[in-house]
Amino acid sequence: MEKNTNFQWKNPRNQYYAVIAANLILLSQGCLMGWISPAIPKLTSESTPLTSGLLTTQQVSWIGSISCIGVLVGSLSFGYFTSFMGCKRAMLFLTVPSIGAWLLIYFGQTFDHILLSRALSGWSTGGITTTIILFVSEIANNDIRGRLGGISHFMRNIGILIGYTLGATLEYHIIPCICIFMPIIYAISFAALPNTPRYYLQRGQTKKAEDALKYYKGYRGESVEENIALYDELERLNRIVNERKSDEKLQASDIFNRAVMKGLGIGISLAILAQLTANFPLVTYAVTILKKSGTSFNPYASSIVLAVMLILGSSVNTYLADIFGRKRLNFISLTGSAVGQLATSLYHYLYISGYDLSLFSWVPVVSLSFVIFILAAGILPLQLICVVEYLPPKVWHI
């Protein structure tokens, strides 16, 4: 057969379904992230549901930070799991820590139970962040890969909104009873999908690889061009697998060269800048921050507004990146975040200094909403995309 390099696959429905199903676990993780914000005032009050008593400031800080350690462990461990389990099995395993986190919240009686729940949540988040990139890269058409990759941020942000909303409206022990079904639905939906074509080729299962490729490409067998394109793609994937088998180990020379070091430098710099924007503390402690900011608005309702802005920001990210370009949008995002947080800090300083700010009580909500929006529209999703673009596949696709 002659190669058909101009053929365009036009039926990506199964790719959308697969990526949405894969990201349902992030809906649960977003709920776990969002739930803690309205739960902290409850856990630090005299009416705390924990038999060990109300939480101290130090314990609350651990609850916020332990998930970051979990994310680090999850990213490293699931990178290893994926290498021998494949994307699908590694991703299905994420159901275990996610369900465990909700069970600990429901049955937990002490601070240690909540801490372990948060650690499991972070581990699961780090795992899905690592594996979903590989899964999307292996099944998606080139023209929609960026769009499919953006679904992860959107689903997580939807989960945060659900967590804020449930935490503001329902009793403490009712929330895990509802949210525990999310990872279960994820497991059922995702288990029905075939593994990636590359996974089957790595194990010499050519027929299964062909069937998986037909499924994800939306193959209909209606034309000669489509048949040629299918087998060209199968050949390309087989060639990649054979090349990786012949040179599986990453050599020092693969990393210590100018192009890779530049990419790593950019990636690490963007990651540091993204963390310095305090986006994680803002999401984790939104209700507490708004309570102490001096605003007259209901902190629980205001936190829901922040979550809505998070979703809006992630929704327009691709559109803004096309208009401004990645570099300029990162700069706008960081600058806008600094301006918004400066406005919040100035308001709080004047508030604790005794000034009458009753006419400006909207400032903390508006400025923090702007910060959340501009970060979600810019550097938060772009930092990972930029790393993937700057580094060769052999370095990041291990």
- Structural domains counted in the chain: 3
| 38 domain residue, yes or no | yes
Last residue of a domain, one of 211, 246, 281: 246
Taking alpha carbons only, the member of 102, 94, 154 closest to residue 130 is 94
Alpha-carbon distance of 126 to 122, in angstroms, equals: 6
pLDDT tens-digit profile of 227-267? 888 888 888 888 877 766 655 565 666 666 777 777 778 87
Any alpha helices (H) in 294-392, and if so which ranges?
299-324, 326-352, 363-377, 379-390
Q: What are the tokens at 36?
A: 């803690």
Domain-located, residue 94: yes
| Same-domain check for residues 179 and 272 | no
87 and 236 inside one domain? no
Do 266 and 219 fall into the same domain? Answer: no
Instruction: Express each pLDDT in 315-329 by its tens digit.
Output: 888 788 778 888 899
CB 148 within 8 A of CB 15: yes
Q: 172: which residues sit within 8 A by CB, 6+ positions away?
A: 39, 42, 49
Tokens of 353: 């200094």
Describe the crossing of helices 379-390 and 363-377 by its angle, rounded to 10 degrees: 20
Residue 1 has pLDDT above 50, yes or no: no
pLDDT single digits (tens) 31-66: 999 999 999 999 999 989 999 899 999 999 999 889
CATH number at residue 147: 1.20.1250.20
Residues 267 and 382 in one domain: yes
Q: Are residues 73 and 148 in the same domain?
A: yes
Whether 2 is in a domain gets the answer no
If asked whether residues 349 and 216 sit together in one domain, one would say: no
Residues 219, 135 share a domain = no
Residues 332 and 301 placed together within one structural domain of the fold: yes
Is 389 part of a structural domain of the chain?
A: yes
Q: Between 223 and 330, whose confidence is greater?
A: 330
Cα-based distances in Å from 370 to 141, 279, 333, 367, 378: 34, 12, 10, 5, 12
The answer on 276 and 345 residing in a single domain is: yes
- 97 lies in the same domain as 239: no
**Does 306 have pLDDT greater than 70?**
yes
Q: Do 209 and 295 have their domain in common?
A: no
Residue 378 lies in a domain: yes
Dump the DSSP string for 207-229. Answer: HHHHHHHHHHHT----SHHHHHH
Q: What percent of the chain has pLDDT over 90?
A: 49
- For all residues of the chain together, what is the average pLDDT? 86
Domain-embedded: residue 275: yes
pLDDT recorded at residue 300: 93
Domain that residue 122 falls in: 12-193
Buried b (16+ CB within 10 A) or exposed e, 157-193: bbbbbbbbbbbbeeebeebbeebbebbeebbebbeeb
Do 161 and 202 fall within a single domain? Answer: no
